[in-house]
Amino acid sequence: MTSPPVDVAKLVDVIDELQRRIAKMEKQLADAQTTRGPVPIDTILAISAGVAAYLGKKATVRQIHYSHTNSWARMGRSNIHASHSFTHSRSH
């Protein structure tokens, strides 16, 4: 069994295209990570109000930063799914 002839020019074109696509995705990723900027004052005020309501006294917010994970969303979905209790019974 013989292997098909290799067209080096086509391989070079494919590699060039893949490199362009990777560079574009890396730039999009870098832009997405840097466009967040500082936390808006409205968000800080909302967090401060929530903390004060929870603690029952005024508290100073010292630091806020964006989370790079979605663990809170995942935990919330898990709690919602766990709260649905289904009972399976046989129908007669």
Please name the residue ranges forming H helices in the chain: 8-34, 41-55, 71-83
Residue in the structure block whose two tokens are 């808006």: 40
Q: How far apart are CA 15 and CA 21, in angstroms?
A: 10
Q: What is the pLDDT of residues 18-70, one digit of tens each?
A: 999 999 998 888 877 666 667 778 888 888 888 888 888 877 777 776 666 67
Q: What is the pLDDT of residues 11-22, one digit of tens each?
A: 999 999 999 999
Q: Which of 84, 68, 75, 4 shows the shortest CA–CA distance to 36?
A: 68
Domain boundaries, the chain: 8-59
Q: How far apart are CA 5 and CA 38, in angstroms?
A: 56
Q: How many CB atoms lie within 10 A of CB 26?
A: 10
pTM: 0.36
